[in-house]
Homo-oligomer: A and B are copies of this chain.
Amino acid sequence: MNDEQVQLELTVASKAENIPLVRHAVAGFLDGHELPEELASDVLLAVTEACTNVVQHAYRGSSSGEIEISAEYIRSELTIAVRDRGLGFAPRVDSPGLGLGLPVIAALTHNVEIRPIPPSGTEVVMTFSLDP
């Protein structure tokens, strides 16, 4: 295990076609560390769900925007933040989804935080514990 702080920063256009790209970049980042396979898979699933939420919900109405992903190891924790500069978190009675994204994220993570970022947008910070 690495005790230094290792980081990934990535910004892509908020489009469905970029979701695999983000997942593969994070997979590459995880590859550099000895992560159990099941945990790595959980991380990739959670990151995918967070990006899907940005693409489906963050920039409703406005034509374009970005997904910002950052990942870092701090001692025995992996923290991944997914940010958008969209309209802010809002419930939708007309959501195209089944409402499984957030619960899946919460079930996979050691801790998940959702918070608005000024002046607008949402940050979802997911923490995974590397201790067995």
Q: Which of B92, B98, B115 is close to A93, meaning CB atoms less than 8 Å apart?
A: B98
Q: Which residues of B contact A91 (CB under 8 A)?
A: 100, 103-104, 107
Quick check: A115 and B112 within 8 Å, CB to CB? yes
A77-103 interface code vs B (CB 8 A; 1 in, 0 out): 000000000001111110100111011
CA distance A18 to B70 in the complex (A): 41
CA distance A88 to B106 in the complex (A): 10
Assess A102 versus B102: contact at CB under 8 Å? Given A89-B107, A113-B111. yes
Q: Which residues of B contact A122 (CB under 8 A)?
A: 106
Q: Is A121 an interface residue (CB 8 A)?
A: no
Q: Is A116 an interface residue (CB 8 A)?
A: yes
Q: Is A60 an interface residue (CB 8 A)?
A: no
Sample of 21 A–B contacts (CB below 8 Å): A89-B107, A90-B103, A91-B100, A91-B103, A91-B104, A92-B103, A93-B98, A93-B100, A98-B99, A102-B102, A102-B106, A106-B114, A106-B122, A109-B114, A109-B115, A110-B115, A111-B113, A111-B114, A112-B113, A112-B114, A113-B113
Q: Using a CB–CB distance below 8 Å, which chain A residues touch chain B?
A: 88-93, 95, 98-100, 102-104, 106-107, 109-116, 122
